[in-house]
């Protein structure tokens, strides 16, 4: 790591109590000497368990960690927090991210992902403009986005940094809007930004409303494992630890103003993912019948994108990144974690039912 991540910088992570944000904070605390500030509104999917587990293992790391409960929609409070935190680097991960929920209630996605990003950009810009010349040169605003902003693919092709935006859901439209705001603040005001668009993440500690944890827990309860339509929709799966490696590398070495597409080289149909989960559970927690028999087709999601795939050539050639874990290897670790942490999952399943 160069000085941007290795000389006791002050790093602000929005959405640090989420699945990806928490994994990022764990890595930053373990692998650098930076001071980490977690700014999160603590919505229904927020959880600090993975950070707290790290402190149980290494209590001294807590000395470099601070938490602020902030809703990015609260412009005044956010501005005060920015002054108090005085960051050198911002990782912006805070977002509403569940496609189905964006269909049920789009308004909260616009408020969080568009208005929240605007407020953060303005607070960051005003902060950056007041920094000394050296700190100003080393400041970075890293906006973490999704491949869903590019829309849907047919049988062939892959998304890249040159793919036109074509969002298809309220969620992806709100993220596309936030991407455009970030680029506008760079070109208009000179704010040193970076954008990454990632494929579907998975791994331990993922909130149990996403496909993989839902499938695991439904199977362990011997219930129906839901599969949208015929299960032939394709996603490119990215293990969360590989994603974190890419995020840190982009902040360290990425070209200011650039976007980088991060894919896991793990294209699978939804049906293939579910069958693979079932096969792993057959070995770990065998039933009297194969788990695959629990897979049940349900009504397809409205406007369900057919296929996502990412071409990671740019980040590979320019920054030397590639995923370390194969899909099957990472999925095995993920399934094993959920089997061993059922109580954590059941606790958070209750929070879903209350929403």
pLDDT in tens, 320-347: 999 999 999 999 999 999 999 998 988 7
Q: Which of 148, 179, 209, 305 is catalytic?
A: 148
Which residue reads 């074509």 in tokens? 166
Exposure string (b/e) for 314-331, b if CB count within 10 Å is 16 or more? bbbeebebebebebeebb
- The pTM (predicted TM-score) of the whole model is 0.94
Task: Provide the pLDDT for residue 1.
Answer: 41
Contact present, 198 and 262 (Cβ < 8 Å): yes
- Each domain of the chain, given as residue ranges in start order, spans 3-202+238-265+305-325
Q: Give yes or no: 291 in active site.
A: no
Query: How far apart are the C-alpha atoms of 309 and 230, rounded to whole Å?
Result: 19
Q: Give yes or no: 308 in active site.
A: no
Q: Sort strands 10-14 and 89-92 into parallel, antiparallel or unpaired.
A: parallel
Task: Provide the pLDDT for residue 353.
Answer: 54
> Is the per-residue pLDDT at 191 higher than 90?
yes
* CA angle, 22 then 237 then 186, to 5°: 60
Contact present, 338 and 230 (Cβ < 8 Å): no
Q: Give yes or no: 148 in active site.
A: yes
pLDDT band at 17 (very low <50, low <70, confident <90, very high): very high
Give the model confidence (pLDDT) of 125-155 as tens digits: 999 999 999 999 999 999 999 999 999 898 8
> Is the per-residue pLDDT at 247 higher than 50?
yes
Q: Which of 40, 88, 122, 147 is catalytic?
A: 147
Cα-Cα-Cα-Cα dihedral sign, residues 268, 17, 256, 118: positive
Fold of 3-202+238-265+305-325: Rossmann fold (3.40.50)
Among the listed ranges 9-23, 58-72, 181-195, 228-242, which one has the minimum average pLDDT value? 228-242
Task: Provide the pLDDT for residue 266.
Answer: 82
Query: How far apart are the C-alpha atoms of 228 and 158, rounded to whole Å?
Result: 22
Of the chain, the percentage scoring pLDDT greater than 70 comes to 97
If phi > 0 it is left, if psi is from -120 to 50 it is alpha, else beta; for residue 167 that is beta
Task: Provide the pLDDT for residue 354.
Answer: 52
Q: Which of 68, 171, 308, 338 is catalytic?
A: 171
pLDDT band at 350 (very low <50, low <70, confident <90, very high): low
Give the model confidence (pLDDT) of 147-176 as tens digits: 999 998 988 899 999 999 999 999 999 999
Task: Provide the pLDDT for residue 299.
Answer: 84
Contact present, 267 and 235 (Cβ < 8 Å): yes
């Amino acid at each position: 790591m160069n000085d941007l991540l290795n000389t006791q910088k002050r790093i602000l992570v929005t959405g640090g109590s989420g699945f990806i944000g928490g994994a990022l904070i764990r890595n930053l605390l373990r692998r650098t000497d930076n001071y980490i500030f977690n700014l999160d509104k603590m919505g229904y999917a927020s959880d600090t368990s993975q950070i707290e587990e790290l402190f149980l293992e290494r209590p001294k790391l807590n000395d470099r960690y601070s938490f602020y409960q902030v809703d990015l929609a609260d412009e005044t409070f956010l501005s005060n927090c920015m002054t108090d935190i005085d960051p050198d680097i911002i990782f912006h991960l805070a977002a509403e991210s569940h496609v189905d929920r964006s269909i049920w209630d789009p308004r909260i996605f616009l408020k969080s992902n568009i208005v929240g990003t605007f407020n953060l950009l303005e607070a960051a810009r005003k902060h950056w403009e007041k920094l000394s010349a050296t700190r100003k040169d080393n400041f970075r605003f890293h906006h973490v986005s999704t491949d869903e902003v590019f829309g849907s693919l047919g049988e062939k092709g892959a998304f890249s940094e040159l793919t036109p935006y074509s969002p298809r859901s309220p969620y992806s439209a709100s993220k596309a809007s936030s991407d455009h705001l970030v680029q506008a603040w760079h070109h208009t005001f000179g704010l040193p930004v970076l954008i990454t668009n990632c494929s579907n993440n998975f791994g331990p500690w993922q909130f149990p409303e996403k496909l993989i944890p839902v499938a695991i827990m439904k199977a362990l309860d011997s219930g129906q494992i839901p599969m949208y339509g015929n299960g032939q929709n394709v996603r490119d799966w990215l293990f969360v630890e590989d994603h974190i490696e890419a995020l840190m590398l982009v902040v360290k070495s990425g070209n200011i103003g650039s976007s980088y597409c991060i894919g896991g080289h793990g294209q699978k149909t939804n049906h293939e993912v579910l069958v693979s989960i079932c096969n792993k559970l057959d070995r770990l927690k065998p039933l009297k019948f194969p788990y695959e028999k629990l897979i049940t087709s349900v009504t397809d999601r409205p406007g369900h994108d057919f296929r996502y795939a990412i071409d990671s050539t740019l980040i590979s050639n320019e920054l030397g990144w590639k995923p370390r874990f194969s899909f099957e290897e990472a999925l095995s670790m993920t399934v094993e974690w959920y089997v061993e942490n059922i109580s954590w999952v059941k606790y958070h399943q209750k929070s879903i039912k209350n929403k």
